[in-house]
Amino acid sequence: MSIKTSEVVTFILEIARVIEENKQMLSDLDAAIGDGDHGHNMARGFEAVAKKLAETPPATVGEAFKTSGMTLVSNVGGASGPLYGTLFLRAGVSAQNINVLDLTGFISSLRAGITGVQARGKAEIGEKTMLDVLIPVLASLEKDSEAGVSCRDAFKNAAALAQKRAEKTKDIVATKGRAAYLGERSIGHIDPGAMSSCLMIQTISKLLV
């Protein structure tokens, strides 16, 4: 896997399209345990990201991530703004001067992003959040990368795991964010943030085929 900056932009634009396509589903998940705006907030944020990336094409992968992160922070409105914004911003710092992203680089960026999200949201795995998808995905990519699995297969594995882990958030009692106010009543519902993270990983996997 070696993805040029312009291709990274294509990936982000495709994520924007997938989020737009699934915004009602994401908001419906959020309506069950939150304030019901996750999909629409994310769609608004990624629409702004797509516009920004088209207006000022980034010179490096790091810039593509950072521009995306900053635009999400400014346009989302809900908690996913600071959280996904931080994910992309930290990933951007990690990929600062990189022009071509490989699997190792992606893993470093994702790791940096996750560390940022954890610091921002004070969450760990098992709290019914996006981290319940992202942390296992990172571990899976790391393991496959070390084992010399091809990038395409590594993402295929990651995408399947993402789906499983997103669905598994049904069984978790929320202890973070708006859903935490529901306590036990949050059981039985998929976390919308976990699902939007799952969609992003699946989108990357599909584009790599």
Partner 1 sequence: MVSLLLLSHSAKVVEGTRDVALQMAGDAEIAIVGGTKDGSLGADFDETLATLRKLVQKGDVIVLSDLGSARMTGQMAAEALDVELQKRVHLCDAALVEGGLVAAIAIAAGQDTEAILEQLQEYVLNKD
- What's the closest the beta carbon of residue 44 comes to partner 1, in angstroms? 9
User: Which residues, numbered 84-103, are part of the site for partner 1 (CB under 8 A)?
Assistant: 85-86
- Binding-site size for partner 1 (CB under 8 A) equals 21
The packing angle between helices 192-208 and 5-21, to 10°, is: 130
End-to-end Cα distance, the chain: 11
Q: Is 121 in the site for partner 1 (CB under 8 A)?
A: yes
- What's the closest the beta carbon of residue 37 comes to partner 1, in angstroms? 7
Query: Of all helices (H) and strands (E), which one includes residue 80?
Result: helix 80-94
Task: Report the chain's C-alpha Rg in angstroms.
Answer: 16
Q: What is the DSSP letter of 167?
A: H
- What's the closest the beta carbon of residue 68 comes to partner 1, in angstroms? 14
SS3 state at 189: coil
What does the angle CA 126 – CA 131 – CA 134 come to, to the nearest 5 degrees?
125
Contact mark string toward partner 1, 151..180, x via CB under 8 A:
-------------------------xxx--
CA distance 84 to 72: 7
Hey, what's the torsion of the CAs at 172, 177, 182, 188, to 10 degrees? -30
Total residue length of the chain: 209
Q: Is 78 in the site for partner 1 (CB under 8 A)?
A: yes
Q: Is 193 in the site for partner 1 (CB under 8 A)?
A: no
- The one among 57, 77, 183, 188 contacting partner 1 by CB under 8 A: 77
- What's the closest the beta carbon of residue 122 comes to partner 1, in angstroms? 4
- What's the closest the beta carbon of residue 74 comes to partner 1, in angstroms? 5
- The one among 1, 13, 32, 73 contacting partner 1 by CB under 8 A: 73
Type of residue at 54: A
Residue closer to partner 1 by CB (options 50, 72) is 72
Q: Which residues bind partner 1 (CB under 8 A)?
A: 35, 37, 41, 73-74, 76-83, 85-86, 120-122, 176-178
